[in-house]
Amino acid sequence: MKKLLQSLFILLFVASSAMAQERTITGTVTGKGDGLPLPGVSVKIKGTSSGTTTGADGKFTIRVASSASTIEFSSIGYVSQSIAIGGRNSISVSLVSDAQSLTDVVVVGYGTASKKDVIGSVAKVTGESLQNIPAPSFDRALAGKATGVQVITPSGLLGQAPQVRIRGINSITSGASPLYVVDGIPVISGDVGGFTSVNALADINSNDIESIEILKDGAATAIYGSRAANGVVLITTKRGKSGTQFNYDGWTAIANISSRFDLLNADEFVTIANERFTNAGQTPQAKPTPDGSGGFVDTDWQDAVFQQSVQQSHSVSASGGTDKTKYFMSLGFTDQKGAIVSNSLRKYSFRANLDQKITNFLTFGITSGVTYQKNLGPLAGSNNLSGNIFAATRMLPNVPIYSTTDITGYNISADRRSLGPGANLSPISDNIPNIRFVLDNNVRQSQTIRLIGSTYLEAKIMDGLKFKTQLGIDGSYIEDFVYTDPRHGDGFSSNGSMSQAYSPFFRWNWQNILSYTKSINGEHNIDVTLVSELQKQRSSFFQANVSNLLNIYFNQNITSGTFITPTISGGLTLNGIESYLGRLNYNYKNKYYITGSIRRDALSSLPMGNRVGYFPGVGIQYRINQEEFFKNAEGLSFISDLRLKASFAEVGNTDIGSFPYFGTYGAALYGNQGGIGFNNTGNPLLKWESQKKYDVGLDVGVLSNRVNLSVSYWKQDTKDLILAAPTAPVLGVPGNSISRNVGSMTNKGWEFSVNADVLPAGKVKWNTTLNFSVQSNKVTGLVDGNDIVGDYNLTRVGESIRTLYGYQYAGVNAANGNPLYVKADGSLVQGRISNTTYYKYDPANPNYFFNAAQPVSATNPDNRSSLTANDKVILGNSLPKWFGGFNNTVTYGDFDLNVFLRFQGGNYIMNRTRQDLLSNNFVNNSVEVLGRWQSVENPGDGQMPRLWAARGAFINLDNNAVSRFVEKGDFLRMDNLALGYSLPSSILSKGSIRKVRVYASAQNLFVITGYKGLDPETNTSGAGVDFNGNPQLRTFTFGLNLGF
């Protein structure tokens, strides 16, 4: 297109040259900041329509009539300049970056706004800061980037979706994740995999992201009404700009897990295992297994489940534009092999964004992204016999992984149910399979095709009045597959099985946006937006399961005639939302601002009487530095920006399930006849969870905004939380409960951020950003005030949600090795391991136990006691109280250095993995077990009780939180350290290359923490519980950025 235009111009010049006295002017346009040539700058002769644009090298040639006096240079993102020609034949210009116009545009709901006019609390993360990082999805890279936004990646599994929480956890039973909107289309997020984790947001190529805006407070989110309670994340992809650009961004990374378990070696295992049997009065069962070459087998089973892996990513993009047509196109390829065996992610993504001016009042555009993702992963369940961590940490270290005598080549027991016992007299407990066999032979896979796209037509009706209609789709087609091998492991009892599921999801969204902007005398600035939005979605699945496989060769897809027993299942859900909304922004002389919005949402998933809701939001802003008195005050001139903001909104959370209000009948088979059965009790009064958001903030900019400070205080009161109110079972109500809007909670916090150009110019430049958030959560209402008690957590009125709750440990009774616990009344009991009974503990007489065979007497007092659920106490808050990020970018000449630290703390973690690693079954342990009590003379570390075969659950109170295993979760992580080198422009300008940068970086280089588990961010079952989670990765990356 550009070529065409250029030729047209040339033709035009040729045609006109005969008519007037002309001459040729040449020159170069560069950027003022970096001195690099600027391509695509419009060069125009003032007062005429003739002109040209600069080439990739910034050079231009233009023929001008003798009458021409001035040339205008303009480009998006730069301040336009007019230069008088005079008598010159050569003109070179440096354009000043219009930082205000470029970086200070903020995407808000259903539109954009200039940063100075944004009243709501909106955190902006540039796409640039998410790139060049080998994260499997962009959402992981948001961690630590903005205040109030907590991103926890629970493990190093590549497909795992991080938990993103904006301003706390605002629901007990419903969704707590924000609403994600990609280029105006609300999209699905979260884990969408059936048998292995698949992050739906990994479908977006991070290299395609222009910016991410995180809407936090009422003024910013109210426009999203019933879906705004958990905050909103707006993702904007790149669009074409004037001037042709071609970019290549690629990296290769080497990943390893960042820490390993400290497990017993073969000798230690034999000692510990046999001590357990001996203490229990049983024959020792553990024996060293000869390795065939004179020594004994000593296997580190972690080598069987963790590996060093190589990952790579390549992304190419081309963009360009004229004043009529703008395009951005990209292709991305990522191939990541996991540092966790059998985990991998392969991704192809394609994007084409186009904007076309049709007439002077109509613009048409397309946004389209297509991604294919293939995820493979191990079974990672905390408590699955073939869960990779569960099994790997239990595998006996004195037996080998492989065996030449077994038909499979793996070390498998004779009955094929468990790991081969080697020289041990007993097989491993619980029939745990050889984990390496499982990882090598079972397949858990998910393939996704995702389409996110939209088209729009925008019409300028008159000055300031625009109408835009946009039709978007989000389609996700997921095929899940699992195969379990019949020879060993999970597939053994069913003689092999396969399940294959197809889960299509399709959503369409139609928005019509009418906007009007008007400034009266520059004093009264008005901005009105009216929107109608309609959304419908259909999600369904069907799944085929087969077992009794006839041939292990057919393990990639269910294949006809290769199995005996098939079963099929499926389901369908439809949903619709109809909304109307309006927003009014007004400011007087850019000084006093007020914004108000209201949204009306109607949801199909709610009962007729309650499905319509109105969600209002208001915000005010006072820019004090715009006041005359402030401008005139000499002493205050160092303050370049000063404003106070406040906002309030009432929003909702509709992530409450599909039809929670309906009394429904589900399918119920009887023999071979299809029937239906009452399976959900309706509550015709059910409505969404509703929330009031309050926010006040202060923004300060000093020294021409070289340093920006921001402080805000927020509070969110959520009520009508949906909880299952129990009913008496005799009523036969399915699930014995009715969903009711009965709960409430409050989240509140402070957010601080500082951004400073410590060294803004010169050879050394240094920019630093620190963000810090403090949060707290308090449950204020539950069903009849009753606690919700889980295995490790408790939700109680007056406490933070899912607080850790369990028994208080008081160490080991040095006289006999029994564990001591604190009862609710403060007294101590000892758990007598030999008969699994609790007795009152008397330090003066630590070895006294009531003899039940004798009558109670003065010499035989009954000191039996108990340890029950009533003795459980709160052991610590599971939610972090503070977190943040500290980012530093230093450039020295052509070198750039990024140091990004992330920190979090104030929370406690139940290290369930540690408890699990002290099992008293015939399985391996962590080295912590070596501190066990052996005798009065050799009492160990005082924390680890006496060993006793198969009594682990009594000794360690497995499946309960115990203070002994509850640890602080504070940490400081070196999230990213990157060093880059860019070839100087003096070299580049010789070729037509714009940019060459090479870099090396390290992610998760180290973590400083007191936490004894693998990583303080590991989070498995429920809040604050680390139960056999997979480790995090440490990655070294080498990359290249190339620009033409």
Partner 1 sequence: MKLKYYIISSALVLSFSSCKKELEKLPQQDIAEEVAFNSPSTALGALRGVYSTAQTFDFYGSLPQVIGDYMGNNVDFVGTFPTLQELNNFSTVSTNVNVATMWQVHYQVITRANNVIAKINIVDGLSAGEKAQYAAEAKFLRALAYFQLANFFAQPFQVSSGSNLAVPLVLEPFDGTVKYPSRSTLNQVHAQVIQDLNEAIPALPQSYTDAAETRGRATKGAAYALLSRLYLYREEWAKAESAARSTLAQGIYDTAPNYAFYSGNTSEDVFTIQNSAIDNGRTGSGGWASYYNPAALGGRGDAPFSEDLINAYTSEAGDKRYDLKISGTAADGLPHLFTSKFPDAVNNSDNSPVIRTTEVYLNLAEALAHQSTTPSVEAVTILNDRIRSRAGLLPKTVTTQQALIDALLIERRKELAFEGHSRMDLLRNRQALRTGNAAAAFGGTKTILPIPQREIDNNPGLQGQQNSGY
Binding interface with partner 1 (CB under 8 A) = 361-362, 457, 459, 461, 467, 469, 493, 510, 512, 514, 532, 534, 536, 565, 567, 571-576, 578, 580, 602-605, 611, 658-659, 662-684, 726-734, 736, 738
Separation CA 874–CA 878 (nearest Å) = 11
Task: Compute the least distance from the CB of residue 461 to partner 1, in Å.
Answer: 6
The vertex-17 CA angle with 12 and 23, nearest 5°, equals: 115
Task: Compute the least distance from the CB of residue 178 to partner 1, in Å.
Answer: 24
Q: Which is nearer to partner 1, 278 or 727 (CB)?
A: 727
Within 93-162, where are the H helices? Answer: 99-103
Cα torsion angle, 1006, 903, 162, 314, sign: negative
DSSP state of 783: G
Separation CA 9–CA 19 (nearest Å) = 16
Task: Compute the least distance from the CB of residue 483 to partner 1, in Å.
Answer: 20
Task: Compute the least distance from the CB of residue 470 to partner 1, in Å.
Answer: 10
Q: Which is nearer to partner 1, 358 or 856 (CB)?
A: 358
Task: Compute the least distance from the CB of residue 949 to partner 1, in Å.
Answer: 16
Separation CA 131–CA 1001 (nearest Å) = 12
Task: Compute the least distance from the CB of residue 435 to partner 1, in Å.
Answer: 22
Q: Which is nearer to partner 1, 8 or 564 (CB)?
A: 564
Task: Compute the least distance from the CB of residue 576 to partner 1, in Å.
Answer: 4
The vertex-632 CA angle with 626 and 638, nearest 5°, equals: 75
Q: Which is nearer to partner 1, 678 or 1006 (CB)?
A: 678
Question: What strands, in cross-sheet order, belong to the sheet with 42-45?
Answer: 51-53, 42-45, 70-74, 81-84
Q: Which is nearer to partner 1, 333 or 662 (CB)?
A: 662
Identify the bridge partners of residue 972 per DSSP, sorted by sequence position.
903, 1008
Separation CA 832–CA 179 (nearest Å) = 52
Q: What is the CA radius of gyration of the chain?
A: 33
Contact 542, 502 (CB under 8 A): yes
Task: Compute the least distance from the CB of residue 21 to partner 1, in Å.
Answer: 40
Contact 499, 544 (CB under 8 A): yes
Q: Which is nearer to partner 1, 252 or 539 (CB)?
A: 539
Task: Compute the least distance from the CB of residue 732 to partner 1, in Å.
Answer: 3
Task: Compute the least distance from the CB of residue 465 to partner 1, in Å.
Answer: 10
Cβ neighbours of residue 133 closer than 8 Å, sequence gap 6 or more: 141, 206, 976, 1001, 1003, 1037
Separation CA 644–CA 622 (nearest Å) = 5
Q: Is 23 helix (H, G, I), strand (E, B) or coil?
A: strand
Six token digits for residue 326: 């703008």
Task: Compute the least distance from the CB of residue 660 to partner 1, in Å.
Answer: 10
Q: How many helices (H) and strands (E) does the chain have?
A: 11, 52
DSSP state of 453: E
Strands, E assignment, 36-128: 42-45, 51-53, 59-65, 70-74, 81-84, 93-95, 105-108, 111-114, 122-126
Task: Compute the least distance from the CB of residue 670 to partner 1, in Å.
Answer: 4
Q: Which is nearer to partner 1, 12 or 574 (CB)?
A: 574
CA-nearest of 477, 604, 586, 439 to 534 is: 604
Contact 358, 226 (CB under 8 A): no
Q: Which is nearer to partner 1, 291 or 430 (CB)?
A: 430
Task: Compute the least distance from the CB of residue 871 to partner 1, in Å.
Answer: 16
Q: Which is nearer to partner 1, 383 or 565 (CB)?
A: 565
Tell me which residue has tokens 């069907």. 542
DSSP state of 489: G
Q: Which is nearer to partner 1, 85 or 738 (CB)?
A: 738
Task: Compute the least distance from the CB of residue 727 to partner 1, in Å.
Answer: 6
Task: Compute the least distance from the CB of residue 109 to partner 1, in Å.
Answer: 18
Six token digits for residue 1014: 């693998």
Q: Which is nearer to partner 1, 92 or 548 (CB)?
A: 548
Q: Which is nearer to partner 1, 648 or 659 (CB)?
A: 659
Task: Compute the least distance from the CB of residue 392 to partner 1, in Å.
Answer: 24
Contact 160, 197 (CB under 8 A): yes
Contact 409, 443 (CB under 8 A): no
- Each residue of 393-413: b (16+ CB within 10 Å) or e? bbbbbbbbbbbeebebebbbb
Task: Compute the least distance from the CB of residue 862 to partner 1, in Å.
Answer: 20
End-to-end CA distance of the chain: 18
Task: Compute the least distance from the CB of residue 532 to partner 1, in Å.
Answer: 5
Q: Nearest 5°: phi and psi at 275?
A: -60, -40
Q: Which is nearer to partner 1, 483 or 659 (CB)?
A: 659
Q: Which is nearer to partner 1, 784 or 937 (CB)?
A: 784
Tell me which residue has tokens 């008195």. 629
Q: Which is nearer to partner 1, 532 or 705 (CB)?
A: 532
Q: Which is nearer to partner 1, 499 or 925 (CB)?
A: 499
Q: Which is nearer to partner 1, 290 or 566 (CB)?
A: 566
The CA–CA distances, whole Å, from 67 to 19, 63, 84, 266 equal: 12, 12, 12, 94
Contact 129, 896 (CB under 8 A): no
Within 10 Å of residue 762's Cβ, how many Cβ atoms?
A: 9
Q: Nearest 5°: phi and psi at 346?
A: -125, 140
The CA–CA distances, whole Å, from 203 to 165, 192, 370, 452, 1008 equal: 20, 11, 8, 9, 32
Six token digits for residue 318: 């081309």
Q: Is 414 helix (H, G, I), strand (E, B) or coil?
A: coil
Separation CA 800–CA 745 (nearest Å) = 9
Within 10 Å of residue 853's Cβ, how many Cβ atoms?
A: 6
Q: Which is nearer to partner 1, 307 or 384 (CB)?
A: 384
